Chains A and B, each alone.
Chain A
Amino acid sequence: MPLHYDIPSLILKKLQEVITPEEEILLEAWLAADPANRVLLERLLDEPEVMADAKAFDELWGKERGIIRYNRMERNVLADTVFPAKQRWRQWFPYTAAAVLLLVIGTWKFFSNTATINSEAKIVHANDITPGGNRATLTLADGRSIDLSEAQTGIVVHDEDITYSDGASLVAIDNEGKKIEKVHQLMLATPRGGTYRITLSDGTSVWLNSASTLRYPSRFADNERVVELEGEAYFEVAKVAKQQGKGEKKEGWPFRVVSAGQTVEVMGTEFNIAAYPDDAEIKTTLVKGRVQVASDRERLSPTILVPGQQSTFNHEKIEVNTVDVQRYIAWKDGFFYFNGDSPEKAFAQLSRWYDIELSYASTIPAVQFYGKVERNKTLGSLLKILEKAGLEFEVVSKDSGYQLIIGANEESL
């Protein structure tokens, strides 16, 4: 029997009782070719059997779960089948995951090194300050808040419930089990020193960085997918066409991220948005695909980004630059990544992740940071690396938290 003949379609036609006499002949020929074929056909014509099989198939591929599974498997295969020439990041960053490379260059411009430490402040061992971890709070439509497990890395939104990424159950969206049509507004918030991943009902994955909030519906509307972001998040938007019903054309299903004064619209792509309220700017960095960035004021004339570009919105206008993308997305893979960063920018990241307040003992030194460091280190081991570059630190307890005092050591002056 040649492989190319479409027996499954013939069997389906037989099931639906729409098979033509000519097709029946082809099917008979196939049945005659091997006794195993008749056994198979009988199984497929047996309703309880076929329903059990369809159920098993549905458990794999039905509903959002199926989309998520498919996207994950496709991603895994594509990641393993890239041409060596295309693995640009690996050429540029030949470090292993554990490797630490940190250089500090520049000149110290210290006028004074009189570190005035409050004598009442207690000096704290920096090794005791642990890095952030998987911490987040999920808020349900009814106002209930749930602290998510630190042993888990993410959650998945389904039609009827929300589970952890490994399938462990978390909460039913609607414990009545009745309101199938109803959409709930939900919120995921990370504290300082927290990060969490969420898979939305359409299969889109969102990595939420520290001190960030994502508001999203339990199910998206038919015409668009809208979420609200405050803080920083990396989006891997699922490219899905929403089926508009029988016979109608599949249409695009835009995904919008709304942050203070800015809307980013995409179809299916990967990008990072940093929109912290205490930052003067919103930065949108595109990794893959295409996005449109528009300010609320100029909604009708959006700016289009191509991969490698970053838009900066200062609440007045949008500027576009080509940037080192890794610098803006390394956090999602668990790294601090510096490429010529000023101390203010570098320490602002540490401050959010270790939940520490910053204080400079004197004028901020004009140095630049380069390198990639794992985020799961204690503050102490990270500071040890920075000390080698001529910086000096002291950690003191202040109010209910900690303060990091940054200065330069004697030899470097």
Chain B
Amino acid sequence: MRAIDHYLCLLKDGHQQGLEYFMQRHLRALTYFARRMVKEVEVAEEIVQDCFVRVWESRNRFESAENVKAFLYIATRNACLNYLDAASTRRHARSEELSEDIQHPDSDVLTGMIHAETIALIHQELERLPEQQAVIFRLIYFNGLSTEEICESLGISANAVFLARSRATQTLKRVFKGRNLLYYIAFVQILVRG
């Protein structure tokens, strides 16, 4: 029996542990998925929380862990669409309650799900970086800082950069092989040394 099936059983037996497992597995990517649709973070959070509550309420219906995941994405997508439609007062009768839907999610939901999960995986790699490298990564890619600005902001912890250098290079290679982040790291180190 796979661990995931064990947790599915717990969920079906009404143990919150089972639900906690599925949250741990899907909540982050799902919230990101919802956020892309509705823009406001608070709305996305509400929608996703509500969908997990609905998983709990319909727990008897799931035959596999994949059913749970499909239900989550379909229900979240529909709730987002309903939220967006609410402004124009249109209401779609969306039928994620039907089990056929859980077996065959449509293409939009599938690509959205795969996109969200891939970004979650990339982010997980970033979270695995030692702190110093994660800082450099965020400065370059998320804050758009130039090499000089990075040197300046890391100036006081230059020693930490040296110490972490070889490990950083190794780890980053695993994240984005051949990407120019490595050059940035090298630059930072050269400039800091000089």
Contact = CB atoms under 8 A, between A and B. Distances in A.
Interface stretch (B12-20, B81-89, B90-98, B184-192): B12-20
Contacts, number: 141
A60 to B, nearest CB: 6
A8 interface: yes
Nearest to A16: B177
Nearest to B64: A4
A179 B20 CA distance: 37
Interface in A1-34: 1-4, 7-9, 11-12, 15-18, 34
Interface in B30-50: 31-32, 35-36, 41, 45, 48-49
Nearest to A43: B115
Nearest to A51: B141
A177 B23 contact: no
Contact of B128 (A34, A40, A47, A246): A246
B169 to A, nearest CB: 13
B167 interface: yes
Contacts of B28: 57, 60-61, 66, 70
B9 interface: no
Contact of A56 (B35, B127, B155, B179): B35
B119 A53 contact: yes
Interface in B43-93: 45, 48-49, 52-53, 56, 66, 69-70
Residue among A39, A50, A66 having the largest count of chain B Cβ atoms under 10 Å: A50
A57 B177 contact: no
Interface of A is mostly: helix
Contacts of A177: 153
B142 A77 contact: no
Interface in A223-249: 243, 245-246
Contact of B14 (A47, A56, A83): A83
A55 B142 contact: yes
B10 interface: no
Contacts of A8: 114, 117-118, 120-121
A62 interface: yes
Contacts of B31: 60, 73
A74 B27 contact: yes
A177 B176 CA distance: 28
A192 B32 CA distance: 43
Contacts of A56: 32, 35-36
Contacts of A80: 49, 53, 56
Contacts of A12: 118, 121-122, 125
Contact of A54 (B19, B45, B141, B177): B141
Given A77-B49, A81-B56, A60 B167 contact: no
Given A78-B16, A83-B14, A40 B114 contact: yes
B3 to A, nearest CB: 14
Nearest to A72: B45
A2 B65 CA distance: 13
A44 interface: yes
Interface string B165-184: 00100010011111100000
A61 B123 contact: yes
A178 interface: yes
A66 B53 CA distance: 21
Residue among A3, A17, A39 having the largest count of chain B Cβ atoms under 10 Å: A3
B41 A50 contact: no
Contacts of A179: 156
Contacts of A9: 121
A300 interface: no
B130 A246 contact: yes
A44 B111 CA distance: 11
A180 interface: yes
A83 B14 CA distance: 8
A203 to B, nearest CB: 15
Given A36-B111, A44-B115, A60-B32, A77 B52 contact: yes
B107 A57 contact: no
Contacts of B167: 246
Nearest to B154: A180
B16 A73 contact: no
A57 B178 CA distance: 23
A50 B123 contact: no
A188 to B, nearest CB: 26
Residue among A43, A47, A54 having the largest count of chain B Cβ atoms under 10 Å: A54
Contacts of A3: 66, 69-70, 105, 110
Contacts of A55: 141-142
A178 B107 contact: no
Q: Which 6 A-B pairs have the closest CB atoms?
A: A8-B117, A81-B56, A8-B118, A55-B142, A17-B177, A77-B52
29 contacts: A1-B110, A2-B66, A3-B66, A11-B114, A12-B122, A16-B177, A34-B107, A34-B110, A36-B107, A40-B114, A53-B115, A54-B122, A54-B142, A56-B35, A57-B119, A57-B120, A60-B28, A61-B32, A62-B123, A62-B126, A74-B20, A76-B49, A77-B19, A77-B23, A77-B49, A80-B53, A81-B19, A178-B155, A178-B156
Interface of B: 14, 16, 19-20, 23, 27-28, 31-32, 35-36, 41, 45, 48-49, 52-53, 56, 66, 69-70, 105, 107-108, 110-111, 114-115, 117-123, 125-128, 130, 135, 138, 141-142, 152-157, 160, 167, 171, 174-179
